[in-house]
């Protein structure tokens, strides 16, 4: 099942990146809102899959906060290669920079759909990159730790 989520996140990331590049051309105004909404729903489903996977994780970190068990976030971050950590931070910064710059631009009404597409896909790139990294690098570590902690029955 993990391979399905990796493929879904990859397809969403590539589609978001291509649409983001398209938003810098005249063709960006031709893309309908349904495409952006579909990508947004896909990103939301991936986020739900990540949360469901984390809820099954048996990696409890430093303790509890009330009735909530805290996950060991340091182990999850260590599972991601350092270059990808930098790339995730860069993608988050780009999404914010893109949003602020798009809010500052004043375009004629005919180009407004392209600007909306640029803002949305700038964020969707990040929202697909996080699940891709999670399911590719963190989920195998979670699976290995949970199988090591689960006793085998004869």
- Tens-digit pLDDT profile for residues 110-153: 788 888 999 999 999 999 999 999 999 998 888 777 666 655 55
60-65 contacts at long range (C-beta below 8 A, 24 or more positions apart): none
- Tens-digit pLDDT profile for residues 41-87: 999 999 999 988 888 776 555 566 666 666 777 888 888 999 999 99
For 149, counting Cβ atoms within 10 Å of its Cβ (0-12 exposed, 13-18 middle, 19+ buried), the class is: exposed
């Amino acid at each position: 099942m993990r391979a399905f989520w990796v493929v879904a996140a990859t397809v969403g990331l590539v589609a978001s990146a291509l649409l983001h590049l398209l938003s810098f051309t005249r063709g960006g105004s031709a893309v309908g809102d349904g495409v952006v909404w579909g990508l947004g729903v896909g990103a939301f489903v991936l986020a739900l899959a990540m949360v469901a996977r984390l809820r099954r994780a048996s990696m409890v970190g430093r303790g509890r906060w009330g009735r909530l068990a805290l996950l060991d976030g340091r182990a999850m971050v260590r599972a991601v290669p350092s270059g990808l950590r930098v790339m995730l931070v860069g993608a988050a910064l780009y999404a914010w920079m893109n949003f602020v710059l798009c809010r500052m631009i004043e375009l004629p009404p005919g180009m407004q759909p392209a600007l909306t597409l640029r803002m949305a896909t700038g964020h969707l790139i990040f929202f697909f990159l996080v699940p891709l990294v999670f399911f590719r690098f963190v989920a195998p570590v979670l699976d290995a730790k949970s199988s090591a902690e689960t006793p085998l029955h004869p």
